[in-house]
Structure 1
């Protein structure tokens, strides 16, 4: 009965994937565009800029530039932007990752020209005044960095990136109190990265024909520039340890080029329950009772496989870390059963599709256009995950246990070192 049901679902999925609508793309005046039209009344628009923290020569400057989004520009004030967005019933959201700064708007379809202009203003015509940095942006930077420091798990992931990459992807995502950030350094960084060559505009609920004329209308004065080269990423093993009173957490990881078996291994180890209020039945859920989660972060040129452990005390975090390491070692030594592999592949497929569709898909599509020049192929990604074998998962686990990086935060005297785990 279950086998027949699975076969029916697989057949339905095959038909669905063959008829799924995908983004259409074009290049207009040096700007890469992608759009996925739909019958919904709500539209989303994202300006994806290759300007994340890995590109910043001065630590914290990418964070500052992101926080200048939707502040005063040369054509409208921040108050005006806020009032008009509220009047039109829309939302504006800036975000920062290691790869990109994203300026995003969600609005009713008929308001596309207005919100395209608002995003274009923040991209091409920001004011970046000194008083605005001191009075508005700097407090936001302090709030963000304080909030991150108050979360031991977030701090551990930041420490893991530093241990794994050192520079580039290892640079901190958030501005630190020791960083020297001036309006001049922000303006210099803006001039370097806010160029048409570094910009991809991705829309959902809109068409390419609607976006194309808006580029000429509102981005005519944007700097053409040259595309920023993606910094090379080397993987370094070792430890970064940060004493903190925010709690204790540990993140262990291994960086390498993306491979679908890494996504399957992350799903196999798991840790995130499929049902609320349940630990689930994954390897990490069983071994650590919900205290550890495995995941895969994909960047341009590198992927970081990581396990993040966070418990109520340093002693519990240490015990859960050792249990998580033992679960990973068991895969490296004994492999994975066929039933567990099928389950992990299904979960990895879901995660891959979820990352490329809906709102997360706007950023993923923009980054793919900027770094690879193509729209992400969901069918190919799912197919690659589906072809992963047990031997490939075992080999991926073997490579990870041979060389890991660790970011430890909290009462670090009680937390294990990398060479004590494997």
Structure 2
């Protein structure tokens, strides 16, 4: 799985069955903007399951320095009472039509998502608006605080090291703000802070209502009639330029989890995103075969596998896109005592890509990237979230078919320049057994 797919943190508010749809030959995207600033977007692939998202520009980058962990606290209040209904009633109603609810937050976005059979989408979207704006009653906030520690306990090393590399890459910028609350911050956010943040960020001018496999007119009708999301517009996020650097945290593991990354593409630049998808395919991704000992395919994957000399090692591309910037690189998992030669091999592989690749290798990577783009239609939940994030970034939505077309236009020079940005100014983050991981100036 690509890194970009698992960077978000999730809390299940209700469970139900929802399965992915098949690839459709025709995909239509539509975007409308209401006078109150609310963006309404749809991706119609004619599938039987609708994925609906109400997302806000309210990720951790919008927190103030004295609000550390606030968005994590806010996310865990989804499923509680709204201003108009009891939370348990909302969850029961969404469950009664076979839906589930997932609250998601990242650096840029806070979102509430539901997946239901297409015939029930009209009911689900009306409930979604209430769930996405919790009333934040003091007793509900206290109750939600008890779930925060569990979130940290279930964090995977991968999630931690990706958060670390962004702290190294963006330093004191807004994108360096951790996604989750830190242990010393749990329960320290007051309901008044949550209420103030909600009133300033969970507003129509900072929101998008997006549906996959749903009629655009149905979404528009609800958006025009809804009253749950108040009108308003929040402040722009503070700039967060890429700087680069090192960070490492020792953890309770014999494994070293390492990310080498450089500045990547922002969602506002669709062509650059397509280039980064091809670069990710060239870097490599873990084998799709369960329990495979292979380090995966790709130029960098092959270099790492050779250096590992049949020792266990895992590798995957890092492909992260924020609104105006991103990260591209490689994620490695290896026994701590073998970290140095493995990390050096990965960086040498990136250098090889930055020197240029031959046509056959590039075409294979482009084909791989196209397949990955088209297969996103088979997971409407992820597609809905990623499309909502894109709509918030630049007001438009790129369908998987359109992204595949952009990938087809990527040249060898485009990929070379993208790889050069990594090797010229890399960031390195490590978690676990880190004593053998080289620093940036040693690569």
Length-normalised TM-score, structure 1: 0.86
Gaps of 5+ in 1: 1-15
CA contact (8 A) 1:255 1:305 kept: yes
Shift of 1:355: 5.0
User: CA 1:130–1:378 in structure 2 vs 1: closer, same or farther (change >3 Å)?
Assistant: same
Does 2:373 align with 1:364?
A: no
Q: Which of 394, 400, 409 lines up with 2:431 in the alignment?
A: 409
Shift of 1:278: 6.3
What's the counterpart of residue 80 of structure 2?
A: 71
Shift of 1:175: 0.9
Q: Report the secondary structure of 2:398's partner residue.
A: coil
Bigger helix share: 1
- Of residues 366-375 and 196-205 in structure 1, the stretch that sits farther from structure 2 once superposed is 366-375
CA contact (8 A) 1:198 1:228 kept: no
User: CA 1:355–1:36 in structure 2 vs 1: closer, same or farther (change >3 Å)?
Assistant: closer
Report the count of equivalent residues: 398
Does 2:155 align with 1:139?
A: no
Q: Which of 301, 304, 325 lines up with 1:285 in the alignment?
A: 301
Per-residue displacement from partner, 1:30-57 (whole Å, max 9, x unpaired)?
A: 2211224465443221112111111122
Q: Report the secondary structure of 2:333's partner residue.
A: strand
Alignment partners' CA distance in 1, 2:282 and 2:174: 29
User: CA 1:379–1:228 in structure 2 vs 1: closer, same or farther (change >3 Å)?
Assistant: farther
User: CA 1:387–1:209 in structure 2 vs 1: closer, same or farther (change >3 Å)?
Assistant: closer
Alignment partners' CA distance in 1, 2:395 and 2:440: 38
What's the counterpart of residue 268 of structure 1?
A: 282
Alignment partners' CA distance in 1, 2:39 and 2:411: 37
Alignment partners' CA distance in 2, 1:158 and 1:320: 21
User: CA 1:140–1:317 in structure 2 vs 1: closer, same or farther (change >3 Å)?
Assistant: farther
Shift of 1:380: 4.8
What's the counterpart of residue 10 of structure 1?
A: none
- Of residues 67-76 and 363-372 in structure 1, the stretch that sits farther from structure 2 once superposed is 363-372
Per-residue displacement from partner, 1:273-312 (whole Å, max 9, x unpaired)?
A: 254436244223323345221231111000200211112x
CA contact (8 A) 1:318 1:415 kept: yes
What's the counterpart of residue 349 of structure 1?
A: 370
User: CA 1:292–1:36 in structure 2 vs 1: closer, same or farther (change >3 Å)?
Assistant: closer
Alignment of 1:269-418 (within 5 A): 269-276=283-290, 277=292, 279=294, 280-289=296-305, 290-311=313-334, 313-333=335-355, 335-355=356-376, 358-376=380-398, 378=400, 380-418=402-440
Does 2:239 align with 1:232?
A: yes
Shift of 1:324: 0.8
Shift of 1:329: 1.9
Shift of 1:378: 4.6
Q: Which of 73, 86, 96 lines up with 1:87 in the alignment?
A: 96
What's the counterpart of residue 7 of structure 2?
A: none
Shift of 1:390: 2.4
- Of residues 314-323 and 166-175 in structure 1, the stretch that sits farther from structure 2 once superposed is 314-323
Gaps of 5+ in 2: 1-22, 267-271, 306-312
Q: Which of 27, 50, 57 lines up with 2:33 in the alignment?
A: 27
Q: Report the secondary structure of 1:103's partner residue.
A: strand
User: CA 1:281–1:117 in structure 2 vs 1: closer, same or farther (change >3 Å)?
Assistant: closer
**RMSD of aligned C-alpha atoms?**
2.4
Q: Report the secondary structure of 1:174's partner residue.
A: coil
Q: Report the secondary structure of 2:389's partner residue.
A: helix
What's the counterpart of residue 54 of structure 2?
A: 47
Alignment partners' CA distance in 2, 1:274 and 1:337: 25
What's the counterpart of residue 126 of structure 2?
A: 117
Does 2:168 align with 1:152?
A: no
Q: Report the secondary structure of 1:413's partner residue.
A: coil
Alignment partners' CA distance in 1, 2:364 and 2:126: 46
User: CA 1:379–1:209 in structure 2 vs 1: closer, same or farther (change >3 Å)?
Assistant: closer
Shift of 1:409: 1.3
Alignment partners' CA distance in 1, 2:247 and 2:226: 45
Length-normalised TM-score, structure 2: 0.82
Alignment partners' CA distance in 2, 1:89 and 1:355: 22
User: CA 1:301–1:107 in structure 2 vs 1: closer, same or farther (change >3 Å)?
Assistant: same
Q: Report the secondary structure of 1:412's partner residue.
A: coil
Q: Report the secondary structure of 1:73's partner residue.
A: coil
